[in-house]
Amino acid sequence: MLSLAYGHGFLEVDLPIENVTIIEPSHQPGLPDEKASLIAALNAPIAAGALSADITPEKTICVVHTDITRATPNDRVIPWLLEYLEASGAKRENITLLNGLGTHRPNTREELEEMLTPQVVANYRCLNHEPENDDALVQFGSTRSGAPALLNRHLVEADIRIITGFIEPHFFAGFSGGPKGIMPGVAGLQTVIGNHGEANIGSANATFGITQGNPIWDEMADIAQRPGPSFLLNVALNEQRQITGIFAGDLLKAHAAGCLFVKASAMQQVDTPFDIVITTNSGYPLDMNLYQAVKGMRAADRIVKDGGIIIMAAECAEGVPTNSPFERLLHSVANGSELLLKLKETDFHWPEQWQAQIQALIQSRAQIHLHSSLPEDIVRRAHLIPCPDIAATVRAHSHAHTRIAVLPQGPLTVPYTAWTVG
């Protein structure tokens, strides 16, 4: 019996153990005292002075945090950080908490309370980023594609910028965290579309584990530094979402240290590709919709044979989401091949096209079956194959020599072969 991360719990799948390879991260123990470790990191950061040294009562502070779709333990990290800031002399009325949505939907007050705690939401200025509000954005030149490089005004105008988040391998930016908290976290929609364009997404270097030389990450890092220095506070997590490492200090140097730490446990080599790969999107909150679930598909894509089968288990409690740019784009084409042709049109630009492009690229070489809470007609309209019973699907496509891999934690593990080294 296999336990797959799914929604708020686990999905039990009865599979024979013959020819099944389970691929998981190398376990990292949680820190024995997370709060004390966080305070120590703020006082002895990487390539930067202690955060407290820059704080005075009159200075304004903008703290960027990740949104509801991310597994960052904001409910621990943010209260501890706020306590540290005020103990260092910051005035509560000068602190803004900015939800780094990127191009995602705004989070509700209830979601903010879930992420940050009700006490924080009641006592601090908590704002959602507005990627399509020109008045909320400031331009810093252009992207390489010519789009305006727009960043949130609250971040830009703050005296002290603090970027929080967590580091994991990312399916086209190399790793999450670091400059990604600014770009796309609090960037304008036009900026994100310019950076996540068809050519950049199609680059061989736009994949898990690669930052330097990745056209997406390189531009993110460039744009994130244009307003001036930002202080990084990123964490690494294990499969129980315990904090295993804290990386504070210089935006790029602290992030690079975190990436090395995460890569050692999260990236796992296998000898040869598999006929069937069963994957997840690490459970809630990462599997709350189909848009996010493309990450788990991408992890499986790295080790599935050409012509093989990917079985994706993602609850998708929020749907695709319904009427999102991602869903509308999928509905606008008959199949993935037509989508890839559409994206190559020089005058075609669409919000969230990058996720649809990656799904289509995977489907150009493998079938994708989806086990979720979505109605089967919704799954088919997204160009995926409904999979109500994972075990039955495996049996229907297996024979005595079928090789099967399972990623119970989805993209928290990034498998690779000699041909997909990142």
CATH 3.40.50.11440 fits 34-265, yes or no: yes
Is 88 exposed, middle or buried, given 0-12, 13-18 or 19+ CB atoms closer than 10 A? middle
Return the structure tokens found at 410.
């989805």
Fold of 2-23+270-416: 2-enoyl-CoA Hydratase; Chain A, domain 1 (3.90.226)
One-character DSSP codes across 353-394: HHHHHHHHHHHTTEEEEEESSS-HHHHHHTT-EE-S-HHHHH
Cis-peptide into 184, omega within 30 deg: yes
Q: What is the pLDDT of residue 420?
A: 58
Q: What is the pLDDT of residue 167?
A: 96
Residues 6+ apart with CB under 8 A from 110: none
In single-letter form, the type of residue at position 185 comes to G
399 pLDDT band (50/70/90 cuts)? confident
Crossing angle of helices 34-43 and 74-87, in 10° steps, is 50
Report domain extents, the chain: 2-23+270-416, 34-265
Model confidence pLDDT, tens digit, residues 109-123: 999 999 999 999 999
Mean of pLDDT over the chain: 95
Return the structure tokens found at 313.
């288990």
Model confidence pLDDT, tens digit, residues 154-187: 999 999 999 999 999 999 999 999 999 999 999 9
Model confidence pLDDT, tens digit, residues 50-85: 999 999 999 999 999 999 989 899 999 999 999 999
Q: What is the pLDDT of residue 422?
A: 46
Q: What is the pLDDT of residue 239?
A: 83
297-301: average pLDDT: 96
Model confidence pLDDT, tens digit, residues 304-337: 999 999 999 999 999 999 999 999 999 999 999 9
Return the structure tokens found at 192.
């994100």
- Is 63:78 a contact under the CB 8 Å cutoff? yes
18 pLDDT band (50/70/90 cuts)? confident
Tell which residue, 243, 261, 90, has the closest CA to residue 164: 243
Cis-peptide into 321, omega within 30 deg: yes
Cis-peptide into 375, omega within 30 deg: no
pTM: 0.89
Which ranges of 88-130 does DSSP label H, i.e. alpha helix?
A: 109-116, 118-123
CA–CA–CA angle 258, 260, 266 (5° rounding): 95
* Enzyme catalytic residues: 104, 170
The two domains 2-23+270-416 and 34-265 share their CATH topology (first three levels equal): no
- Is 268:395 a contact under the CB 8 Å cutoff? no
Give dist(CA 346, CA 336) in Å, integer.
18
Q: What is the pLDDT of residue 189?
A: 95
